[in-house]
Structure 1
């Protein structure tokens, strides 16, 4: 039987296979589809966010220059903008508010506010301007 749920926050018990290996201590499931097993994961280390992992089946939604599995921390806002609706829906439907607040120190409503969306869109627009012009 396949798993229908995934832990929102998981601390690794063995070495990560991500490019951040030694400094990759845990991951947060920002989006997970139990049918396809596709997801978007925020990777955390001892100094904060390492970056994000995006499943291959979701990469096509990202700008061409970002269509890869691992995306460094400085471009997390771009990923958040592209997938904001899917991530917000997943978190609000599948993630306990207390668990979310423990990781982000904000309620889901505050995290997914209009001001956050504005910031993510600004990062996306800047990325597109820099990479694609």
Structure 2
């Protein structure tokens, strides 16, 4: 587990708000992942490996959790919260999915692609709702 190196014990993580254009109508779709360990729906993210920079970690986590490659775009706000009693800092990017195929694994057993309005109601944690709005702002859609 990577921490911030200051002795504060903050867990460092990174992820993306992964998006694509719908194959049917061209509308925006956002990918959410289901983590059976927590029984929650969220954006793909995970802890950084020792010495890994945040963008590299975010792209690795997207591929590991969703099976998709992506092109990173704008940085999104960093999210801070307590996880298991420890401070956690997650750095996010907007990222457009390019290609890939999802395969269920131990960390993520399902993914969904949803329009922003549905994604906002589908996510488990309020901080993930805000990230949907941050993506739309970054893409100049609101």
Q: Which has the higher strand share?
A: 2
Same fold flag (TM > 0.5):
no
Higher relative contact order (CA 8 A, sep 6+): 2
